[in-house]
Chain A
Amino acid sequence: MSVDMSQFYQTFFDESFEGLDIMESGLLGLDVGAADAETINTVFRAAHSIKGGSATFGFTVVAEFTHLMETLLDEMRDGTRMVTEESVDYLLKSVDCLKELLTAVQNKADYNEDFVTEVKVGLERLLHGDEASSKSEADKMAESTGDVEGWLIDFKPADYLLKTGNDPVRLINELSLLGKIETTCDTDRLPFFSALEPELIYLSWHIKLEGNVSKEQINEVFEWIDDDADITLSCLSGEPEKSDSSAGQDESAVATVTPVEEPEEPEEPLTEKPASESVPVASVVEEAKKPKADSKAAASKKPAKDQSSIRVSIDKVDELINLVGELVITQSMLSQLGETVTKETIEKLQDGLGQLERNTRELQESVMRIRMLPISFAFQRFPRMVRDLSNQLGKEIELRLLGEQTELDKTVMEKIGDPLVHLVRNSVDHGIETPEEREANGKPRKGTVELNAFHQGGNIVIEITDDGKGIDKDVIFAKAVEKGVINANESLTDEQIFDLIFAPGFSTAAVVSGVSGRGVGMDVVKRNIRELGGNIEVKSEQGKGSTIIIRLPLTLAILDGQLIRVGDDTYIIPLISIIESLQVEKSQINSIGGQAELYKLRDEYLPVVRLYETFGLKPDSTDLSDGLIVIVEGEGGQAGLFVDDLLGQQQVVIKSLETNFRPVEGISGATILGDGTVALILDITGLINLSRQSSERAA
């Protein structure tokens, strides 16, 4: 049987890592002492499929390791073992360990042997530590590979075994390949003929297997029916090997480290042959391409890990198929109409084009939705992290996750993970006080860290709130002065002070702990978020806690835009920030000190931003009543944007200005219009700030 297994590796790894996440969240949900059977089952199933998969693919190290976990979990599931804090800790550690092993196998790299061995030994100690408790220990004892004369195998398949597609006869045949076997069949359970269900198994077997066979070999035979049969192994030699079990375990742990099967080298990817050096003068473009081809070749040498994949729910795919179906129908309708264009058919043609437009838009929306994942993917690592950290720091912390189903773009999610870890870690380490401190301050012993995600306009907002000690402005100020970030006599607003924590090399933790305090990080956090086109804001009240608010664009690619015109230039306002557009009534314009203009909209006064002024453009008219005012809302509040004209509305693909240029204040990006020209997208918040600054300067 020579199926090329390597084609399934990626799927296996994807599923395994998913399984690890399930295990982790399941384990964290386990209440010590009163474990929920369903949760243990979930964890067990995840472990089981990782074990099965890795055994199939020949990742022996992983399989063996998982087997230990599985045994432990199995005992918990049967109720023969109590769920203790210790065992959960070890299982969590094993999850880490498995993660390391799997990553190592995936990248064909080395892994931390010490760590793996340590966890393995720990697991085994747990398994064998209390000998009285379980039967499966006896057979675990005999795992050493010393001389064994044979085995007695009690094989009691579950009655539904045949339905799972396994046949006991085949298994017994398989066993006979290992050595000489003697089989006795136990027919005790056999019912009367009339009560006999043909699809059930009533038999069980006692198998005597002679020969120097290791336990693993036997286990391998029963690998796939572990769940569906009762299998008891006992050593024929009669010599109890308990005494050397732990030493034997150590050896086997080390011994299993080496034989990681090298999967076949993936075929060398085809790379463009660099254009030859001696290209004549004419082929300017050809030549210029050369370094690009080289870099492409370099990039493709990276490990396969970079081919990230995404799991999409069937619903989303079905929706896409429907939409494509509609598109095909519209297309055939249009082509039919196009054959004979008369005056009568023009109206139909326009209808058809309208339909085409709608189809395209819907198709685009659902394609974009494929990239959207619930934020729980980013959140799920936190329960574990907070638990570990609070243990380590001796704090009592409750983590609350809200809005886990909020969807955001996969790319954004991947990039927001690390900054979030940093911020949560900060909250736990710097924010929440020790239980004693909290009690002394009249707070509940248990601190709370809350992660909340929700949509707001075209953004996703993530808030990290803790009810800890808050940020001490004076300490920050003093520290900033000490580090030379600011001058001692500068006066700063609260916001500016909080902003200082994002300065490079800034940490106020009195003691540098293993958790945080080295002052690497907050500046990186801010930079990462900026790179995603988002922003970060800190709110804090001393003694009560802090909130860190991150705003991110939902997706990095598409935006609903309103095209506006000022003079000869077209700009795009994100539709999401527009509240309304109106013609100016002169009586509603008020000015303050002859400078700042305010427009009275119903009961509110809004500052007027003359776009041509802020951007230095030539407008059609500087008279407010000649143009239109678009009421927009940014972070800093609302404003009326004075423009010459409103053009159409359309979805635009956002292109970055920064890739080849640099950020421009008041502009969030650019896009390409239908006629191929570039239009700039306004950043409303930045624009309002910009006009405020310029009017301040003017005043």
Chain B
Amino acid sequence: MNEAAATQSADIDLGLNIDVEADQYLTFIMADEEYGVDILRVQEIRGWEHVTPVPNTPKYIKGVINLRGTIVPLVDLRERFGVESIPYGPTTVVIVLKVIGEDSERIMGIVVDAVADVYNIEDGKIKPAPDFGSVVSIEYVRGLASINEQMLIVLDIDKLLSSDELQAMSNS
């Protein structure tokens, strides 16, 4: 009952102003699925260009780039999730994200097929994801949301790109 009232008032707000409860998400395409990341974490979107490969790292680490004086590693999301990789094309982009770990903040980039859109999604509209067999393992998914009848997978980038995870993968 309460909840319903809350959502309703939020809906009214949405008409007048941008709703405080709704977060903005940047979405991108990977392997024909649409994924969203919290837009506040996005530092920059840039085209794919030369990277410096780092030896003895997992294959999905494409290398490092110079982002205005900071060394930023790039992760190929397709390879990260073991999806068949496709050659990088004109729409291939690097989304530079801020990842907040337990004790530090990192800047990392993910290489994805293309950038899609920006949506406002209320927190309440993001539903927990069932284990549905997407290419992305369920533990990195914060939830699912529908936008215009389309499913959007909201990623938990902190979990996805946490250094522990990278560390563990590199050892295996």
A interface residue numbers (CB < 8 A to B): 277-278, 281, 284-285, 287-288, 290-291, 569, 614-617, 655-657, 659-662, 664-667, 670, 672, 676-680, 690
A660 touches B72 (CB 8 A): yes
A667 touches B55 (CB 8 A): yes
Q: List 7 additional A-B contacts (Cβ < 8 Å) besides A660-B108, A661-B108, A678-B52.
A: A287-B40, A616-B56, A655-B69, A657-B71, A659-B71, A661-B64, A680-B54
Residues of B within 8 A of A672 (CB): 66, 69, 71
> Which residue of B52, B70, B72 contacts A680 across the interface (Cβ within 8 Å)?
B52
- Give, as a whole number of angstroms, the nearest-CB distance from B59 to chain A: 10
B interface residue numbers (CB < 8 A to A): 17-18, 20, 24, 26, 39-45, 50-57, 63-66, 69-73, 98, 106-108, 118, 163, 166-167, 170
> Which residue of B45, B70, B98 contacts A655 across the interface (Cβ within 8 Å)?
B70
Residues of A within 8 A of B106 (CB): 659-661
- Give, as a whole number of angstroms, the nearest-CB distance from A388 to chain B: 34
> Which residue of B24, B44, B50 contacts A285 across the interface (Cβ within 8 Å)?
B44
B40 touches A677 (CB 8 A): no
Residues of A within 8 A of B163 (CB): 661-662
- Give, as a whole number of angstroms, the nearest-CB distance from A565 to chain B: 13
B42 touches A664 (CB 8 A): no
Task: Find the A residue at minimum CB distance from B61.
Answer: A661
Task: Find the A residue at minimum CB distance from B38.
Answer: A288
A664 touches B57 (CB 8 A): yes
Given contacts A615-B56, A664-B56, A672-B69, contact A288 B98 (CB under 8 A): yes
C-alpha spacing A617/B57, complex, angstroms: 12
C-alpha spacing A678/B72, complex, angstroms: 10
Given contacts A677-B66, A678-B64, A678-B71, contact A665 B53 (CB under 8 A): no
B40 touches A661 (CB 8 A): no
Residues of B within 8 A of A657 (CB): 54, 64, 71, 73
Given contacts A284-B42, A288-B40, contact A664 B54 (CB under 8 A): yes
B57 touches A290 (CB 8 A): no
C-alpha spacing A637/B65, complex, angstroms: 33
B55 touches A676 (CB 8 A): no
- Give, as a whole number of angstroms, the nearest-CB distance from B1 to chain A: 28
Task: Find the B residue at minimum CB distance from A653.
Answer: B69
Task: Find the B residue at minimum CB distance from A694.
Answer: B56
C-alpha spacing A422/B107, complex, angstroms: 34
A665 touches B56 (CB 8 A): yes
30 contacts between A and B (CB under 8 A): A277-B18, A288-B40, A288-B41, A288-B42, A290-B40, A291-B40, A616-B56, A617-B55, A657-B71, A657-B73, A659-B70, A660-B72, A660-B73, A661-B64, A661-B71, A661-B106, A661-B108, A662-B166, A662-B170, A667-B55, A670-B52, A672-B66, A672-B69, A672-B71, A677-B50, A677-B52, A678-B51, A678-B66, A678-B71, A680-B54
- Give, as a whole number of angstroms, the nearest-CB distance from B156 to chain A: 17
C-alpha spacing A680/B163, complex, angstroms: 20
- Give, as a whole number of angstroms, the nearest-CB distance from B27 to chain A: 12
Residues of A within 8 A of B107 (CB): 659-660
C-alpha spacing A567/B65, complex, angstroms: 19
- Give, as a whole number of angstroms, the nearest-CB distance from B89 to chain A: 21
C-alpha spacing A361/B153, complex, angstroms: 52
A281 touches B17 (CB 8 A): no
C-alpha spacing A672/B41, complex, angstroms: 25
C-alpha spacing A287/B41, complex, angstroms: 9
B98 touches A661 (CB 8 A): no
- Give, as a whole number of angstroms, the nearest-CB distance from A288 to chain B: 5
C-alpha spacing A286/B123, complex, angstroms: 22
C-alpha spacing A666/B117, complex, angstroms: 41
C-alpha spacing A665/B167, complex, angstroms: 12
B66 touches A676 (CB 8 A): yes
Given contacts A662-B167, A670-B52, A678-B71, contact A277 B42 (CB under 8 A): no
Most buried by B among A284, A291, A679: A284
- Give, as a whole number of angstroms, the nearest-CB distance from B170 to chain A: 8
B55 touches A666 (CB 8 A): yes
Residues of A within 8 A of B64 (CB): 657, 661, 670, 678, 680
Given contacts A278-B17, A659-B71, contact A288 B39 (CB under 8 A): yes
Residues of B within 8 A of A615 (CB): 55-56
- Give, as a whole number of angstroms, the nearest-CB distance from A285 to chain B: 7
Residues of B within 8 A of A659 (CB): 70-71, 106-107
Residues of B within 8 A of A661 (CB): 54, 64, 71, 73, 106, 108, 163, 166
- Give, as a whole number of angstroms, the nearest-CB distance from B123 to chain A: 15
Task: Find the B residue at minimum CB distance from A280.
Answer: B18
> Which residue of B24, B57, B66 contacts A281 across the interface (Cβ within 8 Å)?
B24
C-alpha spacing A446/B167, complex, angstroms: 49
- Give, as a whole number of angstroms, the nearest-CB distance from B61 to chain A: 8
- Give, as a whole number of angstroms, the nearest-CB distance from B162 to chain A: 11
C-alpha spacing A569/B50, complex, angstroms: 11
- Give, as a whole number of angstroms, the nearest-CB distance from A167 to chain B: 59
Task: Find the A residue at minimum CB distance from B107.
Answer: A660
Task: Find the B residue at minimum CB distance from A612.
Answer: B55
B55 touches A664 (CB 8 A): yes
C-alpha spacing A615/B170, complex, angstroms: 14
Residues of B within 8 A of A290 (CB): 40
- Give, as a whole number of angstroms, the nearest-CB distance from A684 to chain B: 14
- Give, as a whole number of angstroms, the nearest-CB distance from A404 to chain B: 35
A656 touches B71 (CB 8 A): yes
> Which residue of A616, A665, A679 contacts B52 across the interface (Cβ within 8 Å)?
A679
Residues of B within 8 A of A287 (CB): 24, 39-40
Task: Find the B residue at minimum CB distance from A682.
Answer: B55
Given contacts A277-B20, A657-B64, A678-B64, contact A667 B71 (CB under 8 A): no
C-alpha spacing A664/B43, complex, angstroms: 25
B56 touches A666 (CB 8 A): yes
Task: Find the A residue at minimum CB distance from B75.
Answer: A661
Residues of A within 8 A of B69 (CB): 655, 672
Residues of A within 8 A of B108 (CB): 660-661
- Give, as a whole number of angstroms, the nearest-CB distance from B118 to chain A: 5
Residues of A within 8 A of B40 (CB): 287-288, 290-291
Residues of B within 8 A of A664 (CB): 54-57
- Give, as a whole number of angstroms, the nearest-CB distance from A674 to chain B: 11
Most buried by B among A281, A291, A655, A656: A281
Task: Find the B residue at minimum CB distance from A617.
Answer: B55
- Give, as a whole number of angstroms, the nearest-CB distance from B70 to chain A: 7
Given contacts A278-B17, A659-B106, contact A284 B52 (CB under 8 A): no
C-alpha spacing A615/B71, complex, angstroms: 20
Residues of A within 8 A of B18 (CB): 277-278
- Give, as a whole number of angstroms, the nearest-CB distance from A401 to chain B: 35
C-alpha spacing A481/B163, complex, angstroms: 31
> Which residue of A665, A670, A690 contacts B71 across the interface (Cβ within 8 Å)?
A670
Task: Find the B residue at minimum CB distance from A655.
Answer: B71
C-alpha spacing A666/B57, complex, angstroms: 11
C-alpha spacing A678/B51, complex, angstroms: 8
C-alpha spacing A664/B170, complex, angstroms: 10
- Give, as a whole number of angstroms, the nearest-CB distance from A104 to chain B: 30
C-alpha spacing A599/B73, complex, angstroms: 36
A281 touches B56 (CB 8 A): no
- Give, as a whole number of angstroms, the nearest-CB distance from B146 to chain A: 19
- Give, as a whole number of angstroms, the nearest-CB distance from A643 to chain B: 14
Most buried by B among A278, A287, A288, A679: A288
Given contacts A660-B107, A677-B66, A678-B65, contact A284 B39 (CB under 8 A): yes
Task: Find the B residue at minimum CB distance from A669.
Answer: B71
C-alpha spacing A278/B24, complex, angstroms: 11
- Give, as a whole number of angstroms, the nearest-CB distance from A186 to chain B: 72
